[in-house]
Every structure is written in C-alpha cells, then in structure tokens.
Structure 1
C-alpha cells in the first residue's frame, strides 16, 4: 500500500472517530439528548459493528481498529440518548420535582 493511501486512510479514521465528539460533548454538558435521533444512532452503531465484523473476518486490521473506535464513540452517543432522552433525570425543576 502506498504512503498516500495510508495517509488518506488514517485521516478518514481520525475524522470518523472524532466526528462524534461534538455531539457527545453537547449532550454531556446539556444533559439533554431529546434532539438526537435514536434511529439514526442505532443504525450508525449497527453499521460500525458490521464493519468491525468485516474487518475481523477479512484480517483488515486498519478497518477493524478505526471502526472499533468509531463504534465506541457512536455507542457513547446512543447510551447518552437513552440516559438523557428527556433531559437529566437527576435534575429537578424549580418546583422540586423531576422534569
């Protein structure tokens, strides 16, 4: 494989993995994931899981590693979607009751 192909593949992997960071940070700070699409992230997690399986079966370790990291990041968003789907359940509104 050429150096150029390795550079492009590495850049793609970094972009794939880090693309979930802004969404994760936003959800974590606001404790609200109501605007995140459950279906989109469920499909995204499934997609990365399948790519990891493909990478393992074909011995394509760059594919396996990159998609494993992206799977972790997208799964993190999906977990926070379930946890904070209606806002933070531990935060109470001004009347002393959960939102």
Structure 2
C-alpha cells in the first residue's frame, strides 16, 4: 500500500469533510455521523463541484450544487443527476494520522 498522511484524525469534525490534495488528486476526507473516516474523490461526477463543501449525513455526502448524494463506502451515487461513482480510497488510521492510498481506489478497478 502506498498510503500517505492526509490529515490528523482531529482535523475533521463529525459529519464534516476536509479537502486535501494527494499526488495531484483532490480527496475529501469525511467523518460520518458515527465518527468513521472515509476518503473519496472530491469532485462530484455530475458537475465537477467540490464534495467537501457539501453536506454529510450518516454515511453519505451530498453535493451542495445539484443535490446528488454519494455513499461514502462505495462511492455510488444514490440519486440523480449524478450517475457515475466517485473513487473511494483505502484509509488507515495510525495514531492520530489519517493515511490514504490514492493509487489503489477500492471501487474503480
């Protein structure tokens, strides 16, 4: 795994997202309502809008511009207008560090 530090665990609030760039890829680090941390592609597949500026609820993130929701575990859109998934990246927590492997997406092989 080629994971690298994306942020600290405490850098992301519950039900919020933080945009980071890793290897030239925009990634949204998201802490869902249960406190689990996810890493997904930051760009909405419908309108190239930053998902980290959207709304987090339970295990979903919603694009603020057009309302498409994406499942944080699978990257799949849950409603229109988006119909293509966003990449989901492996996350490892080591101490207070959130490590993300952007070279090996879990869902877009």
Larger helix proportion of the pair:
1
Larger strand proportion of the pair:
2
Say whether the fold is shared (TM-score over 0.5).
no
TM value normalised by structure 1: 0.29
